Structure 1
Amino acid sequence: MSAVTRGKIISEFHLLEKKAKLLNIEPLEVYLIGGGNLALRGLKSATKDIDVVLLSRKQFSLMQNLLETPLSKLPIYVRQYRSQWDYDLGMSAKYLHPLYGFGFDVFVKRVLNKLYLSDSMIPRAKVPRDFEYHEFFKIHLVSKEDIFLFKSATSMERMRDIEDLIALVETGLDYEVIIRELGNQLSKDESLRSLVPRIINRVDILMQQIGTVRGLIRLMQYLKEISR
């Protein structure tokens, strides 16, 4: 699977805006998480996957139509997988770009059956300047704090995931936002407590890698308290 740079992500998203306009679809509200989010922020040079979260099955269907409908000289993504169930929460699909080979993963509200794109995350997401004029393919960057939480809970222990978390920590994070968001999600879904040991492990690795960070110490104290 090939990597995609910040410039290529911007170019592809502009093409998807053009395609959405030609198809005259209802506007898509796209929330970018993962490496694509970090690449657009300039926190990593390239990513192998673009991960987006949508808010409903209707938006999911619109996205499928946008990615798969053939239009001359505009991107047609190749679907690799689609979840079989028809209820909204956690629906997902995986695509590959036919020319550049990077992945494009789509989720509805919940990512990998773990954390949710919650109602409190949505107001923290910002529209990047590069996409302010988009009318049909609207891009929102989930906040750094929420990306940190998503990556801590869903990463597969790959070295590049740890590097992404380090890059986020080095920008300066509001750890109280992270703690409140995790508490909010745990209060609504008790099953998410199974993720706490994984997050503790990620934070422990971070502290070994970059030393003492007051916010990480505070986060670790909170995680240990709720894991008892």
Structure 2
Amino acid sequence: MGDVFTVSNTSLGKAILDAASRYSVPTILGGLAEKILPHLLNPTRLTDLAQLTGLSESALRKTLTTLMERGAVKREGWHYRLADDETLQRLAQLLKEKNLLKKVEPNASILYTNSFIIKAVPKGEKALGELTAFSRFPQYGVQFLTDRDYYVYPPTKIGPEKVLVHALLSSKSSYERSMCALFFLVNRTRIDIFEARKTAKHTPALGLLLDLENYVAGLPVSKPELFLPWNEFSDLCAVYGVKVEPAPSAVEIISNIEGWARKLKESVTAYLLGGVNMVLRQIKSSTKDIDLLVENSREYELIAEALQASGYEKAVEWSPGDRDAGPSNIFIHPTMLRVDLFTSKVGGIPVSDTVKARASSGMSLGKLRLMLFSLDDVAYMKLLTTRERDVSDAAEIIRRHGINWETFREEVEKIPPDILKRKAFVILENLDVLRMSYGLRIPRKLYSWLRRMAIDSGIKEFWKRGVDNASIIARDMGVHPSYVRRKLAELRRKRQV
């Protein structure tokens, strides 16, 4: 005799009956399925499922395979999620609420739940998990008065990126979200915005974080009502000793460049590869920095001398995203726009001759000749980096201008193999943001190609470090152990040859 299920006359009972009209009850509620379903309302990695449920990955994989065969679960890349079925999703939501009661204290308020839980308790009261969100702000130089303590469950290592994302998920007012923006500004050189986006992935915080990146720069955001008006934010920042300025107009940007270009001793050709390029093409209303690329060290020295003669200094503190983008130097000025000066490479990747050939003439300002990279190539270069605002700029280009994905792939294929293996992860994550937050379609073949390259690169890095346990690597990479074993066998054969 098969499993027997007794269904009560409750909301949960009714949801089970509704789901039973499409799925076998033993399949969706029997064995481990009942523990798994509530965690699949949003895409979740196998490693996260194991941590959340306390189940082994082999047991999870077996149950997930059965659920996929029955059409209840789908797999997308490294993530599993429920099928697009309202009855099944309603059942999973009710099961989730039932299970949460076991992990949430009587006095706690649940602020967010999915692969982790954010909750608040009266200040000073202990709770399961780790302190996070606004409770950690003082640790990072931002005093925030609150009568609650914020916790994340299950316990996890907390850095400034998670503090920021958890605070955004906890925020209930424009003031609190603006405090998150202030927290970002105070900790700008230590927060890895790319890691923050990865933490925010599959949560409502991702869209907020992308808006926050533009908000702190005085640039337009998609939902301005979620933050304080700019003048109020400026006053708030002043209380903490942080100065913010609104983004300049296009006329002010050109005047700024013209000011230091007068100091050039010789003629120089430079390429505009970022926000100024977009402003001149009327894709973007303003920008907070000037990204310039020159082809050789002589041209770099000429511009560097002109900048320093105009009162610019080399920046001492760089953010993680700045270091990843890899300009030869960053020049800052008390009242003028920051200049990121690149020499022949962006993100450590040589700019190809075809990219330069596609550039068009922009304008001449005295001895400075400015060339405009094509918008396809601007988007390509922005998707190579982990800097703040670059992925939102790429999205704006694609939405308003479009992009030739064939050209994009051709340029990616020119990247030196040792660099491409590292950059594949970055490009993939940025493409995920374009897809999830901006609703942009990414060609499946391109995405699959990059994903396979990233996985193979990750396996090889583990192997180089002496890790050859397929289960450990598979858990970290979010792939099936059999694939890892096959790639490890290939690496061993190559070493023997």
Bucket of the pairwise TM-score, normalised by the shorter protein: 0.7 to 0.9
* 1:173 aligns with one of 388, 398, 403: 403
Structure 2 unaligned blocks of 5 or more? 1-243, 318-325, 457-497
The separation in 1 between residues aligned to 2:328 and 2:359, in whole angstroms, is 21
Shift of 1:28: 0.8
| Alpha-carbon displacement from aligned partner over 1:136-171 (angstroms, at most 9, x marks no partner) | 201111221221122111123x4x333212101111
Secondary structure in 2 matching 1:11: helix
Correspondence for 1:127 among 347, 351, 361: 361
The amino acid across from 1:144 in the alignment is: L
One-letter code of the match for 1:208? M
Cα distance in 2 for partners of 1:144, 1:120 equals 14
Rounded to whole Å, the distance in 2 between the matches of 1:175 and 1:29 is: 28
2-side partners of 1:61 and 1:14: how far apart?
18
1:193 and 2:421 matched = yes
1:158-211 alpha-carbon deviations (Å, 9 max, x no partner):
4x333212101111111111110110123xx52232010110111111111233
Structure 2 Cα separation of the partners of residues 65 and 199 of structure 1:
34
TM-score, normalised via structure 1 length: 0.77
In the aligned structure 2, how far is the partner of 1:81 from the partner of 1:127? Answer: 33
Structure number, greater radius of gyration: 2
| AA matched with 1:117 | V
Distance 1:162 1:57 in 2: 29
Instruction: Report the alpha carbon displacement of residue 17 of structure 1 after superposing the two structures with TM.
Output: 4.1
Q: Is the 8 A contact 2:312 2:332 kept in 1?
A: yes
Q: Secondary structure at 2:315's aligned position in 1?
A: strand
Identify the residue that residue 257 of structure 2 maps to in structure 1: 13
The 8 Å contact of residues 5 and 39 in structure 1, kept in 2 or not, is answered as: no
Provide closer, same or farther for how the CA distance between residues 219 and 38 of structure 1 changes in structure 2, counting only shifts above 3 A: farther
Q: How does 1:56-205 map to 2 (within 5 A)?
A: 56-69=296-309, 75-81=310-316, 92-100=328-336, 102-112=337-347, 114-128=348-362, 131=363, 133-134=364-365, 136-156=367-387, 158=388, 160-170=389-399, 171-186=401-416, 189-205=417-433
Equivalent-residue separation in structure 2 for 1:5 and 1:220 (angstroms)? 37
Whether the aligned pair in 2 keeps the contact of 1:81 and 1:93 (CA below 8 Å) is no
> What's the C-alpha RMSD, in Å, of the aligned pairs?
2.4
Q: 2:344 & 2:436 partners in 1: Cα distance?
A: 33
Alpha-carbon distance in structure 2 between the residues aligned to 1:5 and 1:216? 36
- Deviation at 1:11? 1.7
Which amino acid is 1:180 matched to?
Answer: E
Question: What letter is aligned with 2:437?
Answer: Q
| 32-41 vs 119-128, greater mean Cα deviation | 32-41
Paired with 2:294 and 2:268, the residues of 1 have a C-alpha distance of: 8
Distance 1:6 1:218, change over 3 A: farther
Q: Are 1:48 and 2:275 an aligned pair?
A: no
Q: Which has the higher contact order (CA 8 A, sep 6+)?
A: 1
- Determine if contact 1:36/1:47 at 8 Å carries over to the other structure: yes
Q: Separation in 2 of the partners of 1:91 and 1:118?
A: 16
Are the aligned partners of 2:296 and 2:343 in contact in 1 as well (CA < 8 Å)? yes
Amino acid at match of 1:103: R
Q: Secondary structure at the match of 2:354?
A: coil
Structure 2 residue identity aligned to 1:220: Y
Change (3 A) 1:155 1:42: farther
**Percentage of identical aligned residues:** 26
TM-superposed deviation, 1:30: 0.7
Which secondary structure state, in structure 1, belongs to the residue aligned with residue 314 of structure 2? Answer: strand
AA matched with 1:221: S
Question: Equivalents in 1 of 2:255, 2:397: separation in Å?
Answer: 24
Unaligned runs of 5+ in 1: 70-74, 83-89
User: Cα 1:17–1:192, aligned 2, differ >3 Å: closer, same or farther?
Assistant: same
SS at match of 1:153: coil
Instruction: Report the secondary structure of 2:345's partner residue.
Output: coil
Question: Normalising to structure 2: TM-score of the pair?
Answer: 0.38
| Contact 2:268–2:367 (Cα < 8 Å) also in 1 | yes
CA spacing shift, 1:55–1:226, aligned 2, 3 Å: same
Q: Which residue of 2 aligns with 1:224?
A: 451
Q: Deviations over 1:89-143 (max 9, x none)?
A: x77121123323x31111211234x322222211111112xx1x44620111122
Alpha-carbon shift at residue 54 of structure 1 (Å): 1.1
- Residue 225 of structure 1 deviates from its aligned partner by 4.6
Q: Following the alignment from structure 1 to structure 2, what is the Cα–Cα distance between the partners of residues 222 and 207?
A: 16
Quick check: 1:208 aligned with 2:436?
Answer: yes
